[in-house]
Every structure is written in C-alpha cells, then in structure tokens.
Amino acid sequence: MNKDREILTGEHFMNGNFACAEGAIAAGCRFFAGYPITPSSEIAEHISVRFPEIGGLFVQMEDELASMCAILGASWGGLKSMTVTSGPGFSLMQENIGLGAMTETPCVVVNIQRGGPSTGLPTLVGQQDMMQARWGSHGDYEIIALCPSSPQELFDFTVKAFNLSEMYRVPVLVMGDEVVGHMSERVVIPPKEEIELLPRRKYAGPKEKYLPFKPDKDLVPRMVTAGEGYHIHITGLTHDEKGYPVLDAETQNKLVSRLVNKIRKNADKIIEIEEKNTEDAEVIVVSYGISARTSLRAIELAEEEGIKVGMLRLITVWPFPEKRIHQLASKVVGFVVPEINCGQIVYEVERCVRGKTKVTLVPHAGGHIHDPKDIFQAIRSILK
C-alpha cells in the first residue's frame, strides 16, 4: 500500500465520476462491489485502479443485486463500503436497499441517473429516479439522498454521504446525473487532515451486554464488527433489540417507528439547502442537480426584466425540506420546478405548499438539459 497515493490532494481538472471515486477514497471507503453500467462506469473503473494502491478491495460482481448484498456484508465486516449504478441497476438494488434500512447498515449507493424507463438512454441525462430513491423498496423506512450539481460536489457529497451513513446507520444515496458525472471542471481535494470524517458509532461496553439494535437517545444504535467476539444476529425480519425475529404487531410498530423517526426527528440536522435571494422574491425556482445550473441563466433573464427571482437548491432531497418550502409559500407568487423528468419533485413542492401559492413544473423527458429560455418563460407565466 502506498500511503502517498491514498488521497490525491490539490487542484485537479477531472470529471464528476472520477471526483466521486476520489471522494469515496477520501472518506475512508475501502470496499467496493459493483457491476458496470453507463453512465456511472468511470467510477468503478477509477476505483479499480486506485484501490490496489491504498489497500482497498474492489470486486466486480455478477449483477446489482449481489453488489448491494456485498456492500452490506462488508459494512458489518468493519469496512466503509460503496456501490455505484444507474437506472436499471438501481431498480435491481431496491430490495437490498430495504434490507440495509432494516438492518441499519451504513453504506453509500451512488446513482448517476440516465434517461429511462427500461434501457432508455444509457449515455444521456435524466433525473427520473428521484422518487424511486425515496420509495423504491417496500415497507416503511426513511432514507437520506444528496444531489450534487458539480464535479466538486460529487467529491464533497460522497464524503458527506459516508458521514451521514455512519451517523444514522442507514444507506445514503448520492443522486447524480449523467451531465454532472461526465462534465470536467476544477476539483479541489483538501489535505487529509482537513477532511472531516465521522467514525463508526462503535459499542464499547461489556460484550455480554451488547444489543445490536438498542438505540441511543437519538434513536440510532451502536454497532460492532462481526468477528470481534460479540453475539450478533442480523436479519431482515422484524426483530427485537437482540436482533432476534419477533413477528408480532407490537414489535413491528416499535422497530419500524424507530427506523422512520431516527431520520424524521433528526431531519433539521440532516437537511441542507442553498438559498439565494429568497426573502424578497416574487418567484422561487426549486431545483437540483444539473437543472439547478441551467436555472441560473433563466434567473438572469428574469432579473433583466425586473422580476425578483430566488433560488432554492436541494442539496438534501430526502428528507425533503418541507418546513422551509412551506414557510416561503406564503411570501411568493409561485414556485417553478425544472426537472429532467415528467414531474416528480414538483409533487413534493405542491404537498408542502398546501395550496398557498402556485407551483409550475418545467418538465423534460431526458436526453439533454433544459433550455434556460423554457424555465424563463415559466417564471414569466407564473406572474400573469
């Protein structure tokens, strides 16, 4: 292992997928399992080269179902773990993302979105997996999902995703898109000592008293590593604090309510948004990913006509920043939501607005980014 190559610090000109791979390395990820799929393949390819240099383990799996299983197992084996995929592979991972939520296994899943459904547009952009990120697996659970808008953020948010997964013991999703994954820009990787990393929430008490699913006050249990001599039982069945299956309504309610509430009750700590000029805005553009960047020109065009336009960019998409959108709803004429889909996050905005103001979708079925003029026209029309 070459420690000098562990983190490629300094300024680089690299694409978003490479930046994501370097973010995982900087976060301490040392296990990767995945199956190649465009437009995310460069992440796996880069990690396959870099991991041998730093003592990491890269495994190309037979499919995405196995990939998700492998990173769950690796996490219980004590390693920070990650997989990457795109639309069809993300669909295949959903059952085991639910298993990760039920077993409270920290890991990171990166989805570089493309146009769908089915095989769709393997090499062209889409933002059509946003609701699947929240509701893709069955049953009640909560998830955390981040949405980068630049290669720099693909680095930064991958580090952030690992920290959140360790803090809340939950799979964390990085919902990129093909354009952000493939664009090349300046990426600054800080020195190792300047990268804040959260350690695993390890149990340190007597081994005979360890309960794998006994929560702390913030509703998150502490974890141990399989093979350290602790008695652990990990199952996707409804279970008690020992991890033993208990198949009754009382245990189900206690467990699932905690899985949901450990995210909902900590939502104010988790949610991150970027706001610009929202306090005196007539119209606010709610956007994420590459659509946030194409919205900037539309906002400029509107401001040239004297329209006061604010921007609310979703960094954390799930949990959704419903409180802030509800607060802003009483102050503006309306919201404009550009998405590279036929309408997904716009319905969350409508739910949070609760009829207080207008909400206009600017849809795009995928294949390329929005024309800023279309977003501009939506801003103008909402004022009529």
Task: Report angle CA 309, 311, 313 to the nearest 5 degrees.
Answer: 165
pLDDT tens figures, 232-267: 999 999 999 999 999 999 999 999 999 999 999 999
161 neighbors 174 (Cβ within 8 angstroms): yes
148 neighbors 174 (Cβ within 8 angstroms): yes
Taking all residues of the chain, what is their mean pLDDT, rounded to a whole number? 97
Structural tokens at position 379? 């801003």
Structural tokens at position 291? 């659509």
- Does 278 score more than 60 pLDDT? yes
Euclidean distance between CA atoms 74 and 96, whole angstroms: 14
Q: Which of 4-18, 50-64, 270-284, 292-306 shows the lowest per-residue confidence on average (mean pLDDT)?
A: 4-18
pLDDT tens figures, 218-237: 999 999 999 999 999 999 99
Identify the pLDDT of residue 3.
52
349 neighbors 374 (Cβ within 8 angstroms): no
Identify the pLDDT of residue 384.
87
Structural tokens at position 93? 């991972």
Cis peptide before 52 (omega within 30 of 0): no
State the DSSP string of 215-272: B-TTS-B-B--TTSS------SS-B-TTS-B--SHHHHHHHHHHHHHHHHTTHHHH--
Q: Give the closest residue to 62 by CA, choosing from 94, 99, 89, 86.
A: 89
- Does 106 score more than 80 pLDDT? yes
- Does 332 score more than 50 pLDDT? yes
- Comparing 352 with 7, which gets the higher pLDDT? 352
Go through the domains of the chain in sequence order and give each one's CATH number.
Answer: 3-194 (3.40.50.970), 272-382 (3.40.50.920)
Q: Give the closest residue to 380 by CA, choosing from 336, 350, 330.
A: 336
pTM: 0.96
What percent of the chain lies above the pLDDT cut of 90? Answer: 98
Identify the pLDDT of residue 6.
84
Q: What is the DSSP letter of 366?
A: S
Identify the pLDDT of residue 7.
86
List beta partners, residue 316: 146
189 neighbors 155 (Cβ within 8 angstroms): yes
Identify the pLDDT of residue 5.
64
- Does 18 score more than 50 pLDDT? yes
Mean pLDDT of 18-38: 97
At 1, the pLDDT band (50, 70, 90 cuts) reads very low
The H or E element that residue 325 is part of is helix 322-329
| Interstrand relation of 144-146 and 107-115 (parallel, antiparallel or unpaired) | unpaired
Please tell me whether residue 18 adopts helix, strand or coil conformation.
helix
Other C-beta atoms closer than 10 Å to the C-beta of 176 total 33
pLDDT tens figures, 163-193: 999 999 999 999 999 999 999 999 999 999 9
Identify the pLDDT of residue 36.
95
Mean pLDDT of 206-217: 95
User: How distant is the alpha carbon of residue 276 from its chain centre?
Assistant: 22
Euclidean distance between CA atoms 263 and 271, whole angstroms: 10
Please tell me whether residue 146 adopts helix, strand or coil conformation.
strand
**Phi/psi class of residue 341: alpha, beta or left (left: φ > 0; alpha: ψ in -120 to 50)?**
beta
Euclidean distance between CA atoms 156 and 152, whole angstroms: 6
